[in-house]
Amino acid sequence: MTSIRLKTPHNGEYDQPTGLFINNEFVKGVDGKTFEVINPTDETVICSVHEATEKDVDIAVSAARKAFEGAWRKETPENRGRLLVKLADLFEQHAEDLAAVESLDNGKAISMAKGDVAASAGCLRYYGGWADKIEGKVVDTTPDTFNYIKKEPIGVCGQIIPWNFPLLMWSWKIGPAVACGNTVVLKTAEQTPLSALYAAKLIKEAGFPPGVINVVSGFGKVAGAAIASHMDVDKVAFTGSTVVGRQVMKAAAGSNLKKVTLELGGKSPNIVFEDADIDNAISWVNFGIYFNHGQCCCAGSRVYVQESIYDKFIQKFKERAEQNAVGDPFHHETFQGPQVSQLQFDRIMGYIEDGKKAGAVVETGGKRIGDKGFFIEPTIFTNVTEDMKIVQEEIFGPVCTVSKFKTKEEAIKIGNNTNYGLAAAVHTTNLNTAIEVSNALRAGTVWVNSYNTLHWQLPFGGFKQSGHGRELGEAALNNYTETKTVSIRLGDALFG
């Protein structure tokens, strides 16, 4: 069986594929293995899905290779775009089910899951628009040569995605890869395989030729490692932890030197100046850290507030954080659901304990909510020093630290005091401060008077140890194309 009927809360019901999606069919793994998918809200088993091992990765890569050399190579850019736009339309038609399965499997609040589905469709449609606009150029060098530079697909792309935005990461990866004419073997995170398999069903319905997009469920050390070290995968794109990002890069270097792009962690500073609109700033700081339960690579987890407004800020921010509705992700007013897994829950609680031991003060939160499901109170730490683990390391949960600064120079210095460089924000009503500070911050995205407002038209990615390459926007096309120079010798003059 490679599909089951699943019920969602509030009387929803739908067909959930459980197989590996290879060559447009849902199949069992060669070794017949399966693994359980857990509902983080109540810790029950939702269902089991088929697990890919190295052998299945081989089969999926062969399918992708065949499609790349065959049908997909012959497809016109116009039709590649048309298929992506069709897929985006199907996402919108199936939005209710997709959002429900995302909330069920990941635990994210249903209102946020709906936003993810809309953004996934937006991203796929955007890259559909790019498919027939990937152009080269002509370069004149000497009079007896005619040179043109063209962009070609890289080939078979392995894509390894995390569990925090299962559908959105699926779309960020598949959209640009396919628009540029590549074929794909995508591995989902073992914690959240369901929405990606549902979306795979839509790939077939959209009319993509078999083998162009293959989606497998499986574990990092097995299927993920097999993709990263595969000799017939031309490129690997990875989103996840910095530790695994390094392993992926090593695996690429140790195998066929496949191209690598990485979108890794962050410890992003959120800087509030005394001239900011304080209520507005607090709303964005709150959203910056607690959105998606703090499980965002770009989470604004280090909050720095200018001295003169610090006390007022803490009091208001604490009140704001305590108002966040935490609970059942299927309730429409819920803002924060459970963390994704027992492991992540334990990691976060470990950081909270560590912060307390190091002498930081818990202004609010710090505890588990209930005894079933992985719920954690929105947590604010104060009285922190820059060397504390909770200030230096990515917690990936609803936990932030707040400290003071005096001057703009100091804000820039502590803002940059991290190995990461994914995102940052500045809250101020002074245009000079906004521009000066955002110029000085070493981060791939800087928000001014907002936070987490990503858009598929805008590049996203990391400085420093937050990664390699940029996703989204026109920039992502660079991740998925090779540049070819063709130099034609004119006339019949002999060399020498």
What residues line the site for ligand NAI (CB under 6 A)? 160-164, 187, 189-190, 219-221, 224-225, 228, 239-241, 244, 247-248, 263-265, 297, 344, 347, 394, 396
Residues that are catalytic: 263
Burial 48-59 (b: 16+ CB within 10 A, else e): ebbbbbbebbbb
SS3 of residue 203 by DSSP: helix
**Closest CB to ligand NAI among 160 and 206?**
160
Angle of helix 110-130 relative to helix 95-106, nearest 10 degrees, comes to 120
Name every residue whose Cβ is closer than 8 Å to that of residue 178 and which is 6 or more positions away in sequence: 80, 83, 84, 127, 184, 208, 212, 213
Nearer to ligand NAI, 228 or 400 (CB): 228
The 8-class DSSP code of residue 471 comes to B
Radius of gyration of the chain (CA): 24
Give the residue at shortest CB distance from ligand NAI: 220
Reading the block at residue 24, the tokens are 């447009």
We find the least distance from the C-beta atom of residue 48 to ligand NAI, in angstroms, to be: 17
Query: In this complex, which beta carbon is closest to ligand NAI, that of residue 281 or of residue 388?
Result: 388
Minimum distance from CB of 467 to ligand NAI (Å)? 8
Query: Any idea what DSSP says for residue 223?
Result: I
- The token pair at 329 is 């992700």
- Token reading at 305: 């507030």
Whole-number Å distance between alpha carbons of 378 and 395 = 13
185 touches 213 (CB < 8 A): no
Nearest distance from residue 415's CB to ligand NAI, in Å? 19
Q: In the complex, what is the shortest distance from the CB of residue 179 to ligand NAI, in angstroms, rounded to a whole number?
A: 22
Nearer CB in complex with ligand NAI: 163/284: 163
Measured from the CB atom, is 241 or 392 closer to ligand NAI?
A: 241
Closest approach of ligand NAI to the CB of residue 336, in Å: 17
Q: Please give the angle made by the CA atoms of 326, 340 and 5, to the nearest 5 degrees.
A: 100
Q: 112 with 126: CB under 8 angstroms?
A: no
Write the single-letter amino acid at 215. V
Query: Which residue's CB is nearer to ligand NAI, number 393 or number 436?
Result: 393
State the nearest-atom distance from the C-beta of 279 to ligand NAI, in Å: 29
Q: Which two tokens stand for residue 483?
A: 């540049």
Distance between CA atoms of 253 and 347, rounded to whole angstroms?
30
> At closest approach, how far in Å is the CB of 220 from ligand NAI?
2
Q: Which residue number, 20 or 276, has a Cβ lying nearer to ligand NAI?
A: 20
Decide: residue 331, CB within 10 A, 0-12 exposed, 13-18 middle, 19+ buried. Answer: middle
Q: Is 198 exposed, middle or buried, given 0-12, 13-18 or 19+ CB atoms closer than 10 A?
A: buried
The secondary structure of residue 224, as a DSSP letter, is I
